[in-house]
Amino acid sequence: MERYDFAAVEKKWQDYWEKHESFKAVTGSPKKKFYALVEFPYPSGHGMHVGHIKAYSGLEVVSRKRRLEGYNVLFPIGFDAYGLPTENTAIKDGIHPRIVTDRNIEKFTNQLKKVGFSFDWSRVIDTTQENYYKWTQWIFLKLFENGLVFRDKTLVNYCPSCKVVLSNEDSQGGKCDVCHSEIIQKSKEVWYLRITEYADKLLEGLDTVNYLPNIRLQQENWIGKSTGAFVEFSIKENGEKLRIYTTRPDTLYGVTFMVIAPEHPIIEKYRDSIANIDALDAYKAECAKKSEFERTQLVKDKTGVKIDGLTAINPINGKEIPVYISDYVMMGYGTGAIMAVPAHDTRDYEFAKKFGIDIIEVIKGGDISKEAYTGDGEMVNSGVLNGIDNKKDAIEKMLEILAEKGCGEKGVQYKMKDWAFNRQRYWGEPIPIVHCPECGMVPVPYDELPLKLPPVDNFEPGQDGESPLAKIDSFVNCKCPKCGGDAKRETDTMPQWAGSSWYFLRYCDPNNDEALASKEALEYWMPVDWYNGGMEHVTRHMIYSRFWHHFLYDIGAVNTPEPYAKRTAQGLILGPDGEKMSKSKGNVVDPNDVVETYGADVLRVYVLFMGDYEQAAPWSESSVKGCKRFLDRIWALQDKLIDGDEYRPEMTAAMHKTIKKVSEDIEAMKFNTAIAAMMTLLNTIDGIGSINKAEYKSLLMLLNPFAPHITEEIYSNNFGAILSEQPWVTYDEALCVESSVEVAVQVNGKIKAKIMIPSDAEQPEVLEIAKNDPNIAGLVNGKTIVKEIYVKGRLVNIVVK
């Protein structure tokens, strides 16, 4: 047999698939549908990363297997092409982002095709195309219409380097998601989507889907629902009500002070009656200088200032208590004010110690002279609550009392905040809103969509965080759609997550001009059966897109509340040095190089064989060669091919076992062990020295989803048919067992011998054989046998005294 010419063969089959549209999904087919989704790439100028290959290879294998099993598979790909890196390249090189994007998409397309992914290329989408973002804008208008869009001037996350406002999700860790600069807080009026309105639905929806447990948990934590109570404290000096949120209303008798955020409006309202207003202003100014990051990260000591002129009254016992400002209370969570219970809250305890405030124990069980006690226990010093010995009952009782007094009620809070939904940049979807001096914010009429991004020469953002679009008079100046008067267009664009929040719907019907997708297509394909992607998207894209989908469900635009029935995540590929791949470390592996040196099949097999799919693993060039060797040996089997349309007796169990193992492992995403099983089978075959037709056909079928080119080539060369048109191989559970098996024989738990027994032998027979073994007889004879254990097909243990 000649050496395997992977370059020629891979090209040949890629052309074949393209010509025959082998992977085209047919909407409405009577076959059972399977919708496999991978996260579409952002087409950066660097081209594909081996991480993309791993991310797509998982469901690629599943999709190919499903097609062989007779499913109608939708496995689409597209490009999430709006975003800052492209715009930054455009600015730097003086090329229009449209051209940069098209160039990058072409590059990605070529690379993806060279790897032989079985995407349905007839459904490719590009979020920056007018016929796509028309519908992104349409969804925005629907959100607007339904009161889920608002503008607000508050402190926002701002990246001074990118000159944009970022959402909470894009500012995780206090760093800009795009350029990793330190985020600062800035007061600015921006657009928000009321995602918090959907917090409960997003939380409850998790019960109806099958996400990996850690994915689910991260979403739950991000949404961060807490239940507690709102309580109103009166201010002695002016009768004002100071509203707080607490999860521990049961500890109300233990309140010895209150803390409000430095920005709390009550200070402004009563600044004239506060004696030490200068000190408060100074403290506030100091806090404003710190970034959110410093304010939370670098906590060494509690700081704060007592407000001289505001005294609160505890509604439960009428006690007068001091009010402080401190930066450990945030304006952005709850009401920006807390009741402090130093005996039972660690932060309040630290603060009280530092400022010499009373600490009153209301729950027994700890030693409050040493530290705050946050556990459960019997209530003390708490009036009518005394004697109640658990938190739940105490909270309930307290809520009753508060309700009677009319100064408190049950409440719910979320960590998740509303979605800051705009960027002061050019390369994004224009927000289809007109500002009219008469009518206020007026949506662009649906029949005027898409609101096109105007051509410009200068994409630089303005100095004070103004969008480049603001400089284009012909875009900005318009007529109000409502009253016809002079008006101005909104000039901010949508954030990069907009387009990806609904792209999986568009794949169902990518060219529809009447709707984001036809009802029939959505009915047929949705929900996505299996979605795989990166962990980094769990608290961004996955939250956003679920929110949009729930909303679209509520307005009847889609047929299920949840978009994704199942979600998994792949682990990173690290550099050969075990570090995260990055250009600055110079440890980046280019998939192109691997394809050119070893072939696409080798790359595909390697990224799945390198380790547990869900775990990070370092790249190893020599292990890549091992995969090359494996495929070359599969090729070389053609020299050992003999006749035979059924598995030979000595191969039967091995074949059935391998088919079972590979079939099951693919479903469980245990691709590494699936490949190992095929390697083991290959070793068995090489040991025998020959393979018959039936065996070869099955082995090629098992390997086909992983290495489609080489398997197709061997199959068509030897069997004159197209492998991917054959049905997936099946196995018979009963034939998976060998006729005889080796079991270990232990005496007192130590292995002393190994014996061959018929695999269906029962315990007495096996023990008989074991005791007659020369190595065992000597150890057992003349001793008292205390216990005899036989684990079927595994081992025998004889306990003697």
Q: Tell me the two tokens of residue 160.
A: 């001074």
CB of 257 to RNA, least distance (A): 12
Residue 111 CB, shortest distance to RNA, in Å, is 24
Nearer to RNA, 187 or 346 (CB): 346
**Candidates 306-314, 355-363, 467-475, 666-674 — which segment interacts with RNA by CB under 7 A?**
666-674
459 Cβ neighbours under 8 A, 6+ residues apart: 87, 90, 91, 97, 425, 426, 427, 468
Q: Is 265 in the site for RNA (CB under 7 A)?
A: no
Nearer to RNA, 228 or 527 (CB): 228
Task: Mark the segment that binds RNA (CB under 7 A) among 200-208, 268-276, 336-344, 484-492.
Answer: 336-344
Cα(753)–Cα(553) distance, integer angstroms: 65
Does 622 contact RNA by CB under 7 A?
Answer: yes
List binders of RNA among 60-119 (CB under 7 A). none
The CA radius of gyration of the chain, in Å to the nearest whole number, is 33
How far is residue 297's CA from residue 536's CA, in Å, rounded to a whole number?
A: 21
CB atoms within 10 A of CB 601: 28
Residue 787's SS3 state is strand
* Shortest spacing between CB 654 and RNA, in angstroms: 12
Q: Which residue has the tokens 């099958």?
A: 210
- Cβ atoms within 10 Å of 740's Cβ, excluding its own: 11
**Nearest distance in Å: CB 770, RNA:** 13
Distance CA 789, CA 797 (A): 5
302: contact with RNA by CB under 7 A: yes
Phi-psi domain of 648 (left: phi exceeds 0; alpha: psi -120 through 50; beta: other): beta
User: Percentage helix, strand, coil, to 5, in the chain?
Assistant: 45, 20, 40
Q: Does residue 784 belong to the site contacting RNA (CB under 7 A)? A: no
Binding status of residue 679 toward RNA by CB under 7 A:
yes
Structure letter (DSSP) for residue 363 = B
**CA 380 to chain CA centroid, nearest Å:** 45
Please state the separation of Cα 653 from the chain's center in Å. 40
**What residues numbered 129-188 form the site for RNA, per CB under 7 A?**
168, 172-173
Terminal-residue alpha carbon distance, the chain: 63
| Residue at 772: amino acid letter | N
DSSP 3-state assignment of 311?
Answer: strand
The yes or no reply on residue 690 touching RNA (CB under 7 A) is no
Q: Given the rule CB under 7 A, which of 53-61, 115-123, 292-300, 637-645 is the region that contacts RNA?
A: 292-300
Task: Count other C-beta atoms under 10 Å from residue 267's C-beta.
Answer: 21
Rounded-to-integer distance, Cα 425 and Cα 286, Å: 31
Q: 13 pairs with which residues across the strands?
A: none
Residue 775 makes contact with RNA by CB under 7 A: no
Site string for RNA, 642-661 (x = CB under 7 A): --------------------
Q: Nearer to RNA by C-beta: 10 or 250?
A: 250
| Of the candidate residues 146, 297, 582, 739, the single one contacting RNA (CB under 7 A) | 297
Of the two residues 190 and 602, which places its CB atom closer to RNA in the complex?
Answer: 602
Q: Which is nearer to RNA, 512 or 759 (CB)?
A: 759
How far, in Å, CA of 699 to CA of 95, rounded?
A: 51
Say whether residue 203 binds RNA (CB under 7 A).
no
Among 103, 216, 243, 295, binds RNA (CB under 7 A): 295
Residue number, 212 or 456, with CB nearest to RNA: 212
| C-alpha to C-alpha distance for 82 and 88, rounded to whole angstroms | 12
**Nearest distance in Å: CB 776, RNA:** 14
Closest distance of CB 564 from RNA, Å: 19
- DSSP letters along 484-547, please? -SEEEE---B--THHHHTSHHHHTTSTT-SSSSS-HHHHHHHPSBSEEEE-GGGTTTHHHHHHH
Binding segment (CB under 7 A) for RNA, from list 36-44, 58-66, 117-125, 332-340: 332-340
Is 568 a binding residue for RNA by CB under 7 A? The answer is no
Q: Which is nearer to RNA, 642 or 756 (CB)?
A: 756
Using the rule CB under 7 A, is 673 a contact of RNA?
A: yes
**Which of positions 346-375 make contact with RNA (CB under 7 A)?**
347
Among 250, 345, 562, 712, binds RNA (CB under 7 A): 345
Considering the rule CB under 7 A, would residue 476 count as an interface residue with RNA?
Answer: no
Q: Interacting stretch for RNA, rule CB under 7 A, among 590-598, 616-624, 692-700, 719-727?
A: 616-624
Whether 604 contacts 56, CB under 8 Å: no
- The continuous run of DSSP H or E covering 745 comes out as strand 740-747
Taking CB under 7 A as the criterion, the residue among 407, 439, 441, 795 binding RNA is 795
**String of DSSP letters for 312-361:** EE-TTT--EEEEEE-TTS-TTSTTSEEEE-GGG-HHHHHHHHHHT-----
Instruction: Report which residue type is found at 360.
Output: I
Residue 612 in contact with RNA, rule: CB under 7 A? yes
Binding positions for RNA, 405-424, rule CB under 7 A:
413, 415
Stretch that binds RNA, among 70-78, 212-220, 510-518, 718-726 (CB under 7 A): 212-220
Among 34, 75, 328, 459, the residue binding RNA under the rule CB under 7 A is: 328
In the range 744-763, which residues lie near RNA by CB under 7 A? 744, 746, 748-751, 754
- Tokens describing residue 253: 């008798």
Q: Does 454 engage in binding with RNA (CB under 7 A)?
A: no
Residue 86 CB partners (closer than 8 Å, separation 6+): 43, 44, 45, 97, 100, 101, 104, 427
Q: Nearest 5°: CA angle at 46, between 606 and 167?
A: 105
Shortest reach from residue 19's CB to RNA, in Å = 33
Burial of residue 578, with CB atoms counted within 10 A of its CB: 0-12 exposed, 13-18 middle, 19 or more buried: exposed
Complex with RNA: residue 418 or 490, whichever CB lies closer? 418
Shortest gap between Cβ of 752 and RNA (angstroms)? 9
* Nearer residue to RNA within complex by CB, 111 or 168: 168
Structure tokens at 623: 């292990």
CA distance 712 to 756: 40
**Which residues, 480 to 539, sit near RNA by CB under 7 A?**
535, 539
Q: Which of 222, 257, 547, 548 binds RNA (CB under 7 A)?
A: 222
Q: Give the span between the Cα atoms of 133 and 127, in whole angstroms.
A: 6
Residue 369: CB atoms within 10 A of its CB come to 7
Pull the structure tokens for residue 727.
């049905």
Cβ distance to RNA smaller for residue 223 or 516:
223
Closest approach of RNA to the CB of residue 399, in Å: 14
Question: Does 390 engage in binding with RNA (CB under 7 A)?
Answer: no
Select 621 or 732, whichever has its Cβ closest to RNA.
Answer: 621
302 and 351 in contact (C-beta within 8 Å)?
yes
Residue 262 C-beta: closest distance to RNA, Å:
11
Stretch that binds RNA, among 276-284, 334-342, 509-517, 550-558 (CB under 7 A): 334-342
Q: Is 597 in the site for RNA (CB under 7 A)?
A: no
Among 680, 716, 718, 759, binds RNA (CB under 7 A): 680
Contact call for residue 773 and RNA (CB under 7 A): no
